[in-house]
Structure 1
Amino acid sequence: MTTRVTLQDVAARAGVSRSAASLALRGDGRLAAETRERVLQAMDELGYVYNRTAAAMRTKQSRLVGIIVTNIDNSFFAQSVMAMEMELERLGYSSISASSLRSRDRQDQLLRQLREFGVDGVIVAAVEDTIESVAQEMEAAGLPCLSYTRFVESRAVDYVGPNDFEGGRVAAAHLLWHGSRTFAFVGSRSPSSASRLRRKGLMAGLEAAGLNDALRTLRQDMTPLGGYEAAKILIASGPLPDAIVCGSDNVAFGLFDAFREAGVAEIPRVIGFDDVELAAFSSPRLTTVSSHPAMLGRLAAATFVDRLSGKRTATEVQYIDSDLVIRASCGCRTLDVPPEKTTNNP
């Protein structure tokens, strides 16, 4: 019968104390990197498997974080959740990620399952208008919650997300600089704080320029198909606006396909939102308001770990500035961009 390898065995192989080996497993920053590497190497050599269940019973902490987003297949969430998972791992935490598919029932089911797994808390991009109830449920269970990209008016929970209002204003300023005077905004068909704030910022920028009635709003799914359908509507109703702001880059990709298919000779200026990886390779290359998905994911993870460790006590709202990444779809060429715009900020 094979004898089970213990943490004491690992410590002996690595030439450290059992407490040091334990710190290495938890990713504790107090331990020297070289010592941690020796412990990890000893674990590999001995085939040691960390018993998280037993550790959780001793410490009352699982060092496991739940992550729920609406759809991890979405390019923005795919990038940000990956960064979130990597940052949590760096900080000594594991994670479980899941998609609610914008279903309240599924979200409730996922929250129950995460609690059954004994997570220390949840980072959630909640189904719209549910974050308050999610926060209350987690509070009743004694678990912290961070709202990711879903702004909470009551400030009842920590929030990490892009400055969507400023992003809309930035898009308006750049398109106005190009001389655009008629606009369309393709926003989310379902209620969305991000879509609402992006449109609000866009509208504020237009109104500041005296264009109070220059914006047409279409509601579609935030997918390439949604963008394709929006373009068909705009083409059929003509004339096309001077500029279109899309609630996500995915919408812009579908928009381009529809315009090409219809043989539109001169498509409107287009700006997307998020700056997903494909934006740099679309045709035309997509000018977009960057939401910095990877940076947001890392910030959310670090903020949440600070909450779990007790370093944060007061509820905090954290924005990441929305920068304009200038490519071709807005009508810019490199020589078109004035000196004050070379920083990607209009």
Structure 2
Amino acid sequence: MNATDDPTPECNPLNSSEPNYWHPSKAFMWAAIVHCCCVIVIGTLCNAVALWCVATCAVTRRPVKVLLLAIFMPAMLICLVVYSTIAEGLVALLTCDSNRISRTVIIIVWTVYLILEQIERASMAFVAVIRAVSVWAPHRQKLGLRPAVMAMTLTSLYFIIIHVGMMVKLMEGKLGHSWNLSYVFSIFNTAMPMVITVLSFLNTTAISPLVLSVMIVIIQYSVFAAPAAGQEHTMDNQRLWYFTATGCLPTIFALAIRSLYQPQGQEATTMDQTTRAMLALFISNMVFGLPYSIFRLMGQYPVHMYIAVHFWFGNHFVVDSLAFVWFNTCYRRRVILWMKGMTQTLASLVTSLSPQGNSVSPRDPIQLSEHRQETP
């Protein structure tokens, strides 16, 4: 039985039985399941290729490798583990089988997904800041392995704690649904790495102080704005603290470094291979992440839109690693050479296993004539 044929709560765990909600059709659910399978296979393969390129690169320093591995390893685990569970849940929804996957497994996998997602976002933000600092202050001391690991760990813990704290506040009702800061946090995380990387390669030096000044004015206006009621002022202060802690502080930190370390001599800096690849990754993450974050701010939405937007967001687990490898010329050449080598190896293996591989077919006139000419 299809879940759409029986709109009961047991057959619709996504609350699709509520009024004014359009129940997903069977074709739509099958498309979502196929999309899940594609993310599992292609996403795992692409992230594994990106991990192989980074780990075996002789030019990339070890601290940078650690930072890049912290981006693609969580993405690969999400594609392999989380989306397998999502596919099982969609099949359970399609077949109306509530015993196909337990609620405990869903909670555990969802918790793992939140942790891995925050580690991935924290890694992207940290890599963006490190790349910007290397452009703004190229003569500074290089980041070591231990400081990189320590900073990456602290940044990930910071992102996880802030996200969990906001979710707890939202569940307790202390933050209004109209200003859902957990998704505002997501918007800043998806846009901030690309903005920082682009600003670091702009010729003008007036944009960073201008952006910093605008952000400070916004924060001051939020703090000293006259409250409509006493309770709303307390709510505004709580919202401001979460907004500043999750979105503004990393951006202000990066822009402050930009104002302190101006490039000397030549103002325009050419992007290297790694930075261009990271910028492609940041743009891909923003393209697939911003619609998801903005959509979650809407409040009420149909179930089919909920599923569609979530799977649009899931595309970045595939496209991010693909864009990173493609826009890095060295990595792209290595992957193409490896694919050519594997193709030649498979072709030679098939030829050697063929029973007529070394024999001359009597029906082939060219080979037969050559064979006759060689005989005395």
TM-score after normalising by structure 1: 0.23
Higher relative CO (Cα under 8 Å, sequence separation at least 6) belongs to 2
More helix by share: 2
User: Highest CA radius of gyration, 1 or 2?
Assistant: 2
